[in-house]
Structure 1
Amino acid sequence: MTEPTAKQIQDSKLYQQWGLSDSEYKLICEKILHRLPNYTETGLYSVMWSEHCSYKNSKKVLRKMPNKSDRVLAGPGEDAGILDIGDGQAVVFKAESHNHPSAVEPYQGAATGVGGIIRDIFSMGAQPFALLNSLKFGPLKDGQTKHLVNEVVAGIGGYGNCIGLPTVGGEISFENCYENNPLVNAMCVGLLNKTDFKHGTASGKGNLIVYVGAKTGRDGIHGATFASDEFTDTKNKQRSAVQVGNPFIEKLLMDACVEIIEKHPNWILGIQDMGAAGLVSSTAEMASKADSGLILNLDNVPQRETEMSAYEMMLSESQERMVLCVKPQFKDNVLAFFKNFELDAVVIGQVTGDKQYKIYHRDELVTDIPVRSLTEDVPEYDRPEVEPKRIAQDRDYHFVPKIDSLIDTWQALLKQPNIASKKHFYQTYDSQVKADTLVQPGSDAGVTRIRGTKKAIAMTNDSNSKYVYLDPYVGGQITVMEAARNIVASGAEPIGVTDCLNYGNPENPEVFWELDKSVEGIASACEKINTPVISGNVSLYNEYNDEAIYPSPMIGMVGLIDDVKKVTTIAFKEAGDLIYLLGNTFNDFNGSEIQLQQTGSIKGGLRPLDLNEERLHQDLIRQAINQGLVASCHDLSEGGLAVALSESAFDKQLGFEIETDLTSAQMFSETQSRFLVTVKPEDKTNFENLVLRDFQYLGQVTEDSTFKVTTKDETVSINGKEASNNWKEAIACLMK
């Protein structure tokens, strides 16, 4: 193929197909280059100026997030965030979306999402030790959706299991709005000795740029542009933009990078993953951060396909590749080191002092542009925002469920796909490889021990997009606080957050308003509990035929447990334990699972969240766990008290006998700031004296698996084994 000339690109407006607007192209020509960019240069700007790489539509909003605390060692701008956990150690974590690729090629889209997030962790010098994921699909009603779900789950499991990392937590939900635009958010957590931390920079004139890992092919070209575009009936089949993963090469790459940073830190000045926008983003960002220039020679790039152009090599998102900045005197050591791991490692360029980004291919200079024009000169947009009409129209609507039979409603709710057990999916994942997992999927948070210490890390990710759709500000707060309650209920102190912000087209004022308001809510909640947002990503343009998904921020949260003896799970432990509800219950049914079950849709406003009460209840639970007063703990979320009681009883096939002044309907209320706690009889007085307020004694755990419930309205006896079967088998039945 003969590449179009710069003039032909201008005349045909080819740049528009790559996501550059007329005004952006004009800015590049007239203000930055003072000439027309050639084919390769236009391609570089198109991917680096895409929303996926530049955040040009979301930077203004992201600045509202808190990102500082006493623990923060590295925050936004690095491949991943780092928090100090004492004893010379740090926890490293990040979440990333792979939504569009997973919609088109679900297995590879999900697998390469996992691979990319793992590289973000070990590029910081950290050893990855756990994976989580947050998945959203359409209803399980047709073969296409079921195939999509199976392939995404298989891709996540296939990659993580092959590389030897446990998947310890996550969530899956099903709503109509994700039918043609699923969300696949992956999170990875790693451990770092603080002295091993490496920045992603390319500094020092004359230092070398080394390419390490798999060969470059034609997969994933324009992946970043693809991720910054909407789907339509005619525009969603861009399979060439989806990457192809090889977890076995990634395992070698991970082990090699962690070892070279740990054992030979003086050889390497900087390291970065080749993720979105591949070779151009990694090298340009490293040079930009160091305020330096680069010369790259693409003839040295290992290639697995013939006759690749400069454009193709620079924009390829082939997986399992890293870029290193290396001191010249250690070049031979570095190349030999990676050769021992059977990995390609070659010098492809060097750092310069002229701040230009120069690329040579077949002895021809094919790119000569200012480095920072790719990263710093991107226009930043302040989009108009408008509150959606539905918000004002429905603000005063209050749904109240009709309970003809508490037993039937209870059993039916446990079958709801958003509530039912997800074991059918997560049994695909190895959750115990490396043998450090203390709490596996199915509890409030995954927990992993830190070897050689008494400490452990708790991890969760949460996204309740129904709430955010009804009230973005309150919904954003709820998303953070639900994650925090999961961490606290596990015995940990929440210490930091990563996020994936999944929304529709930001050029739609209603969508931008949802993004802005939900981030304000997230920020206010994070500030209240001192959990800085230290990493994450934004995924916009999640639309199909102009219909946007629900605003869907995902919060990944990490907590620190100072002694593994404090690890707490949701499971009732033994008969005779006392059951308490901490927190007040109101008629909070808007956006609830019972509203969805009884009406097929959601509507209405949300009650403001009392952040002080939320913080108080979290602190009380932490104190009670620290004092050894808690046998089990479970936060209340989807399905309310009825579901929390059921899930706590299922693990050991126990039952309970409770009496409450709540109405039968309020058993399904989703009021926030609540925990279900069991306490041994001998700890009753100490627990009640500690909590003092906002708690209700409900009853006792029983030996037989019967749920005896007395509400304000009635007394019923629910068959716990039948409830457990309904909950366990619902997903498997739907997937048949």
Structure 2
Amino acid sequence: MPSTHDVTPEKIEQEKLYLDSGLSNEEYRRVKDILQRRPNMTETGIFSVMWSEHCSYKTSKPLLKKFPSNGKHVLQGPGEGAGIIDVGDGLAAVFKIESHNHPSAVDPYNGAATGVGGIVRDVFSMGAQPVALMNSLRFGTLGTERVNHLFQEVVRGMAEYGSGVSIPAIGGEAQFDSTYEDNPLVNAMCVGLIRHGDIQRGIAAGPGNTVLYAGAPTGRDGIHGATFASGDLADDESDPELPTGDPAMEKQLIEACLEVMQSDALVGIQDMGAAGLTSSASEMASKAGTGITMDLDSVPKRESDMNAYELMLSETQERMLLVVKKGREQEIIDVFAKHGLDCAEVGKVTEDTSFRLLQHGETVADVPADALAEEAPVYDMPSREADYFRSFQQMEDTIPDVDDHQAMLRQILQQPTVASKEWVYNQMDSDSQTNNVVASESEAAVIRLEGTDKALSMTTDCNSRYLYLDPEMGGKIAVAEAARNIVCSGAQPLGLTDGLNYGNPTNPDVFWQMEQSVDGMSAAANALETPVISGNVSLYNQSNGYSIFPTPVVGMVGLAASLDHITPSFFQQAYDVVYLIGETKAEFGGSELQNIVSGRYEGKAPAIDMQVEANRQEQLLQAIQTGLVQSARDVSEGGLAAALAESVFNGKGLGVKASVTGDATAALFSESQSRFLVTVRPENKDAFESMVADAAPIGYVTDNDRLDVHVNKRSIIDESASMLENLWKGAIPCLLNKKA
């Protein structure tokens, strides 16, 4: 790594060394205009990471402004470490989702582990106690040596880090498609709980106050990690030395920081995430309208002879930056020492707005803080409707040929995207805080709000196949499906965090996908009153000229007003009436069936009417809250047949006898939206039907362990439920054991 003395500002300009850091010619000229001089090597590195896509969102920022971010429950929207939603009784939920895609492709174990560590720090930096982890994962075709390795190591990394910090991993999703062959997506979500009066913010307020560094000493790992994550994966000839995580230290850091936050000596606190010391210090100063002068000789170091460039761009994990009141430093340092952690004075808050760095008695960087954080360039990228979209829209809706619907159901249940993810969650620690986790078998994960009769429900969702076919429609569906899962669990959706994963934004087709999907998500968020309170953007998920499908993951949180409302997704007892809510059409674009039959995705995505969606969710939730519903799940991948099968996979020996009409393939495997599968006790049938307008009885739960489905009064599926469950549960382990 270059020394700050080895490369002169003149050489940086003459040899255009700034290009290697990720600054364009125009951006370099802009830096010169801001500084009124040429930047030195350290300053060039600082601007390059802060103006990278990963830190500045310079191409996505115009789109992010479209999201609704205000609402009656919102206490903190985008702009801090995580968003905050009021859940009543003086309590709030703090949550955010973030990606670690590029690092996980290179080093899946450590890339995934440090992704968990980073999102946990974002949440506890707000003053919250982290209580739950979720994930959203995407991989290529399972069964190949490389994809199996990536999948296994990512899961191991997330599981071991989560267990190490004693935060239960209670849910998530995983999808498998060839589009992710070279670019796996690893999105981690953390949810925390906080009292309103304990909310912290990352600000460097109060000139004269002291800047403290706490946690792991800084090493040379992760230098230029932010710019690495802001380019095409295949274009990087040399990957940075990726950071590794230390969950034991993270656990100490959580406990120490939460204790420190009880002191009125604390002014502000922020995680050192992407761009490390640079982003945390400059962002805290910019938000407060102040400056920071930092003495790099005082920064705890893991390695000797680290220059300013390395210290400021390192992304060593498990580090926090704090601002404390002048004269109160020692009491904060003592708290960290009690928890076995280093804490050192590294700087002061200043009245001016300069971000100034000193090393060995010299000024090694002096730049305006706002220029790094608030005044990064923003680009309106060219957008062009993709040619494939026009051709797909012109296709007629067709029904795939299926000769044997019973055999097809077996095949669908074994598709990795549909199959049981038990292999994943058996490795995750879901019992760390057993007093909080509700073992409800709901469509969404549920945790009890201790000391109340209420619970939080949470989910992650996104069907990228629909987004590929029609980004706007797919964006609506991603938000709507997340909300359906929350409602099915018995909770009212309150807000969402987004993990926006796309290809190269300089490709007009990709930027069009981004625009359209954000428009769709915004429309759905408005219709369902679920504002976007936090999020993350991951671009350049592209290799060899091929982008991933647009994958804007939705992490959603809802509130169950009573524990009595928590509703399982599995059938509960024999002779309950089975209802299908919503209309089934011949919609197969992006479906599991289309993938199996044709090996590709084409045509129109399923349509969704957000007003219809909102009405059905409201009616179903009212029925649940009234005590009329025994079980509820949404009908999604694999259609009604898969939903019926999965509803009896809970070891109770139950089965189902159902009868529907129409084309058998459409009735069983269509992925039409806004549909629910619900069971109701016979004595509540009339009350339920009067409350839910689009509910149609299609059968009843049996006690004979069979899936018995008739279409047009003809037996189409008659299978052992236990046998189907074994296929469903065994699919992923079988593919992982497959020899190349």
Q: TM over 0.5: same fold?
A: yes
Q: Which residue does 2:626 correspond to in 1?
A: 627
Which range is displaced more, 244-253 or 714-723?
714-723
| Separation in structure 1 between the aligned mates of residue 700 and residue 570 of structure 2, nearest angstrom | 14
Letter in structure 1 aligned against 2:706? T
**Match of residue 17, structure 2, among 9, 14, 17:** 14
Q: Which residue does 1:515 correspond to in 2?
A: 514
Q: Which residue does 1:658 correspond to in 2?
A: 658
How much does 1:440 deviate? 5.3
| Separation in structure 2 between the aligned mates of residue 362 and residue 503 of structure 1, nearest angstrom | 43
Render the CA deviation track for 1:195-215: whole Å, top value 9, x for unaligned: 011111001110010001111
How much does 1:375 deviate? 1.2
Q: Which residue does 1:157 correspond to in 2?
A: 159
Q: Which residue does 2:253 correspond to in 1?
A: 253
Which range is displaced more, 177-186 or 647-656?
647-656
Structure 1 residue matching 2:284: 3-state secondary structure: helix
Q: Are 1:399 and 1:595, in contact at CA under 8 Å, matched by a contact in 2?
A: no
Structure 1 residue matching 2:647: 3-state secondary structure: helix
Q: Which residue does 2:385 correspond to in 1?
A: 387
Q: Are the structure 2 counterparts of residues 440 and 386 from structure 1 closer, same or farther at C-alpha, using a change threshold of 3 Å?
A: farther
Structure 2 residue matching 1:461: 3-state secondary structure: strand
Q: Are the structure 2 counterparts of residues 426 and 441 from structure 1 closer, same or farther at C-alpha, using a change threshold of 3 Å?
A: farther
| Separation in structure 1 between the aligned mates of residue 64 and residue 333 of structure 2, nearest angstrom | 39
Which range is displaced more, 439-448 or 426-435?
439-448
Matches within 5 A, 1:79-94: 79-94=81-96
Q: Which residue does 2:702 correspond to in 1?
A: 702
Q: Are 1:579 and 1:679, in contact at CA under 8 Å, matched by a contact in 2?
A: yes
How much does 1:439 deviate? 4.4
Counterpart check, 1:576 vs 2:575 = yes
Q: Which residue does 2:325 correspond to in 1?
A: 327
Q: Which residue does 1:592 correspond to in 2?
A: 591
Render the CA deviation track for 1:459-511: whole Å, top value 9, x for unaligned: 00001100000000000000000000000000000000000100011111000
Letter in structure 2 aligned against 1:186? A
Q: CA RMSD in A?
A: 1.2
Letter in structure 1 aligned against 2:584? T
Counterpart check, 1:548 vs 2:550 = no
Letter in structure 2 aligned against 1:453? T
| Separation in structure 2 between the aligned mates of residue 350 and residue 659 of structure 1, nearest angstrom | 72
Q: Are 1:80 and 1:92, in contact at CA under 8 Å, matched by a contact in 2?
A: yes
Matches within 5 A, 1:116-155: 116-155=118-157
Q: Which residue does 1:686 correspond to in 2?
A: 687
Letter in structure 2 aligned against 1:28? V
**Match of residue 24, structure 1, among 27, 36, 41:** 27
| Separation in structure 1 between the aligned mates of residue 470 and residue 18 of structure 2, nearest angstrom | 38
| Separation in structure 1 between the aligned mates of residue 175 and residue 377 of structure 2, nearest angstrom | 36
Q: Which residue does 1:735 correspond to in 2?
A: 736
Q: Which residue does 2:46 correspond to in 1?
A: 44
| Separation in structure 1 between the aligned mates of residue 19 and residue 435 of structure 2, nearest angstrom | 50
Matches within 5 A, 1:460-539: 460-539=459-538
How much does 1:548 deviate? 0.5
| Separation in structure 1 between the aligned mates of residue 175 and residue 181 of structure 2, nearest angstrom | 11
**Match of residue 303, structure 2, among 297, 302, 305:** 305
| Separation in structure 1 between the aligned mates of residue 260 and residue 644 of structure 2, nearest angstrom | 49
**Unaligned 5+ runs, structure 1:** none
Letter in structure 2 aligned against 1:311? Y
| Separation in structure 1 between the aligned mates of residue 527 and residue 78 of structure 2, nearest angstrom | 20
% same residue? 49
Q: Are 1:220 and 1:243, in contact at CA under 8 Å, matched by a contact in 2?
A: yes
Letter in structure 2 aligned against 1:53? C
Render the CA deviation track for 1:408-450: whole Å, top value 9, x for unaligned: 1111111111101011111100112110354459641100001
| Separation in structure 2 between the aligned mates of residue 662 and residue 372 of structure 1, nearest angstrom | 62
Which range is displaced more, 455-464 or 716-725?
716-725
| Separation in structure 2 between the aligned mates of residue 159 and residue 576 of structure 1, nearest angstrom | 44
How much does 1:604 deviate? 0.6
Q: Are the structure 2 counterparts of residues 498 and 707 from structure 1 closer, same or farther at C-alpha, using a change threshold of 3 Å?
A: same
Q: Which residue does 1:102 correspond to in 2?
A: 104
| Separation in structure 1 between the aligned mates of residue 375 and residue 30 of structure 2, nearest angstrom | 9
Counterpart check, 1:238 vs 2:239 = yes
| Separation in structure 2 between the aligned mates of residue 75 and residue 192 of structure 1, nearest angstrom | 15
Structure 1 residue matching 2:377: 3-state secondary structure: coil
| Separation in structure 1 between the aligned mates of residue 732 and residue 442 of structure 2, nearest angstrom | 18
How much does 1:218 deviate? 0.7
Structure 2 residue matching 1:188: 3-state secondary structure: strand
Q: Which residue does 2:358 correspond to in 1?
A: 360
| Separation in structure 2 between the aligned mates of residue 544 and residue 572 of structure 1, nearest angstrom | 44
Structure 1 residue matching 2:220: 3-state secondary structure: coil
Q: Are the structure 2 counterparts of residues 336 and 56 from structure 1 closer, same or farther at C-alpha, using a change threshold of 3 Å?
A: same
How much does 1:405 deviate? 1.1
How much does 1:608 deviate? 3.4
Q: Are 1:104 and 1:239, in contact at CA under 8 Å, matched by a contact in 2?
A: no
Q: Are 2:607 and 2:672, in contact at CA under 8 Å, matched by a contact in 1?
A: no
**Unaligned 5+ runs, structure 2:** none
Which range is displaced more, 712-721 or 243-252?
712-721
Counterpart check, 1:712 vs 2:712 = yes
How much does 1:552 deviate? 0.5
Q: Are 1:705 and 1:721, in contact at CA under 8 Å, matched by a contact in 2?
A: yes
Which range is displaced more, 140-149 or 154-163?
140-149
Structure 1 residue matching 2:648: 3-state secondary structure: helix
Letter in structure 2 aligned against 1:383? M
Q: Are the structure 2 counterparts of residues 574 and 236 from structure 1 closer, same or farther at C-alpha, using a change threshold of 3 Å?
A: farther
Letter in structure 2 aligned against 1:134? S
Q: Are 2:100 and 2:111, in contact at CA under 8 Å, matched by a contact in 1?
A: yes
Q: Which residue does 2:55 correspond to in 1?
A: 53
| Separation in structure 1 between the aligned mates of residue 196 and residue 161 of structure 2, nearest angstrom | 28
Q: Which residue does 1:68 correspond to in 2?
A: 70
How much does 1:17 deviate? 1.3
| Separation in structure 2 between the aligned mates of residue 406 and residue 466 of structure 1, nearest angstrom | 23
Q: Are 2:112 and 2:154, in contact at CA under 8 Å, matched by a contact in 1?
A: yes
Q: Which residue does 1:291 correspond to in 2?
A: 289
Structure 2 residue matching 1:687: 3-state secondary structure: helix
Q: Are 1:300 and 1:347, in contact at CA under 8 Å, matched by a contact in 2?
A: yes
Q: Are 1:706 and 1:718, in contact at CA under 8 Å, matched by a contact in 2?
A: yes
Structure 2 residue matching 1:368: 3-state secondary structure: strand
Letter in structure 2 aligned against 1:47? V
Structure 1 residue matching 2:658: 3-state secondary structure: strand
Structure 2 residue matching 1:329: 3-state secondary structure: coil
Render the CA deviation track for 1:277-307: whole Å, top value 9, x for unaligned: 0000000000000110110001111111111
Letter in structure 1 aligned against 2:657? E
Which range is displaced more, 423-432 or 473-482?
423-432
Q: Are 1:439 and 1:569, in contact at CA under 8 Å, matched by a contact in 2?
A: no
How much does 1:681 deviate? 1.2
How much does 1:607 deviate? 4.5
Q: Which residue does 1:199 correspond to in 2?
A: 201
Q: Are 2:467 and 2:551, in contact at CA under 8 Å, matched by a contact in 1?
A: yes
Output the TM-score relative to the length of structure 1.
0.98
**How many residue pairs end up in the alignment?**
730
Q: Are 2:496 and 2:557, in contact at CA under 8 Å, matched by a contact in 1?
A: yes
Q: Are 2:207 and 2:349, in contact at CA under 8 Å, matched by a contact in 1?
A: yes
Structure 2 residue matching 1:56: 3-state secondary structure: coil
Letter in structure 2 aligned against 1:636? V
Render the CA deviation track for 1:654-693: whole Å, top value 9, x for unaligned: 11001111432121100000110001111111111111x3
Q: Which residue does 2:275 correspond to in 1?
A: 277
**Match of residue 367, structure 2, among 346, 366, 369:** 369
Q: Are 2:214 and 2:341, in contact at CA under 8 Å, matched by a contact in 1?
A: yes
Render the CA deviation track for 1:636-657: whole Å, top value 9, x for unaligned: 1101111111111111331100
Letter in structure 2 aligned against 1:132? M
After TM superposition, the runs of 4+ consecutive aligned structure 1 residues lying more than 2 A away are 234-237, 436-443
